[in-house]
Amino acid sequence: MKYKVQPTSVERVMREDDFIVSKTDLKGRITYGNRIFMEFSGFSEAELLNAPHNIIRHPDMPRGVFKLLWDTLADRQEVFAYVKNMAKDGSFYWVFANVTPSFDANGIVTGYLSVRRKPKASGVSVCEGLYRAMLDAEQKAGPRDACEASMALLQSVLRDKGMSYGELVLAL
């Protein structure tokens, strides 16, 4: 299912006790979403199941953040990230995400579990600026080199701060 959604400036803010939970297969197709996920995304369960998780990707999110996420998961590690998502109606909502590989009894990765909660406003503020700079780098580099340019900028920022992306977002 492909949706052409026009982003709006309408923000939806998670409540303190909200947890958005979803599971995906190895290719990022949704296999489970809780009712809070459906509420914030605006999609029904039928629309979400088997859809690519990027159905909620907001265009303000740089490619580099998702490359970092998938690279970390490929290393069988959990990842924390501030993410701006887009609902079916074009509104947006920020989350603080924890994504972790799911393993079977033999230690084989079978999919991914993501739990998102309300992010700290200060963290959103920092990430908005960082992500805007990463998007600018992507645009200047052009489609072929966008992800590499975005990652280079992120790595430069992290080197200057002397921390990993995970350490940065957990410190915000």
Domain ranges of the chain: 19-119
Write out pLDDT tens, residues 86-98.
999 999 999 999 9
How far is Cα 68 from Cα 8, in angstroms, rounded to an integer?
26
Label residue 5 by pLDDT band (50, 70, 90).
confident
Per-residue pLDDT for 114 more than 70? yes
Write out pLDDT tens, residues 124-150.
999 999 999 999 999 999 999 999 999
Which pLDDT score, from 0 to 100, does residue 4 have? 78
Which pLDDT score, from 0 to 100, does residue 3 have? 61
Query: What's the CATH superfamily of 19-119?
Result: PAS domain (3.30.450.20)
